[in-house]
Amino acid sequence: MYAPEFDRLLACLADVFRDEGRVEADRTVNALLTTPAPQSIGKRTLGDLDAEIGVVLAASRHPAARAVLAAQCLVPWGTNPVAGQMKDDATAICAVAELLGPDAPVPAPDLRVGLLYQRPDSYYPLHNHDADETYAILAGSALWTAGGDVRQRGAGELIHHPSLMPHAFRTGPEGMVALYRWSGDINAHSYAFLDDPAVRAV
């Protein structure tokens, strides 16, 4: 069954990257708007995780947060392309829904777009990967490490990580929902957790 909410979601997510000002962001916007998604998108029954994510989304005024909330039963949480590289403590604190990519609902050979949910008061340790990445926070906030730049980031902010830049996120009591896009070398096997002083100190 064709799900118009899914198209509305993709259009809203495309808007997030429209003003990023990078060629690969423009290409991602175009892919989100022009690549046909499958006619049949499975609607899920909402569960406890959806309720948890819904609380964070509902507290945000970001238009894309509202679009994700409206299409929640179509968002494929649990489709993390780098799940094989994740540590146990990282999988316990987050969920990923890949929307565009080599194996995603919207097929793309050389780009990825997806959503990350991170639980309240949790730390996603320092990691990196070959792909260039831009994150947009849709709801909640985090103390964000991007290379040597460490600061609080909130809804509406875009953060760019060039290839192999180490990054880490520490959420507060709200948790966070963020949108990512990958370009360049989007392989999953280079995804790696790094020696992290914040983890060693615990």
- Report the interface residues with Fe ion, using CB under 5 A: 133
Minimum Å distance from CB 108 to Fe ion?
17
For the bound state, the minimum distance from the C-beta of residue 133 to Fe ion, rounded and expressed in Å, comes to 5
Whether 159 and 135 have beta carbons less than 8 Å apart is answered as: yes
Q: How far is the CB of 159 from Fe ion (least distance, A)?
A: 10
What crossing angle do the helices spanning 48-58 and 63-70 adopt, rounded to 10°? 150
Supply the minimum distance, in Å, between the C-beta of residue 46 and Fe ion: 27
Burial of 157 by CB count in 10 Å (0-12 exposed, 13-18 middle, 19+ buried)? Answer: middle
For Fe ion, the closer CB: 8 or 189: 189
The CA distance from 117 to 161, in Å, is 18
**Helix, strand and coil in the chain, % to nearest 5:** 30, 35, 35
Residue placing its CB nearer to Fe ion in the complex, 60 or 128? 128
Type and span of the H or E element at 12: helix 4-17
Is the CB of 72 or the CB of 170 nearer to Fe ion? Answer: 170
Q: What are phi and psi of 158, to 5 degrees?
A: -110, 135
The closest residue (CB) to Fe ion is: 133
Which residue number, 66 or 119, has a Cβ lying nearer to Fe ion? 119
Q: Tell me the two tokens of residue 196.
A: 């992290």
CA distance 172 to 169: 10
Residue closer to Fe ion by CB (options 98, 133) is 133
Nearest approach, Cβ of residue 82 and Fe ion (Å) = 9
How far is residue 30's CA from residue 100's CA, in Å, rounded to a whole number? 12
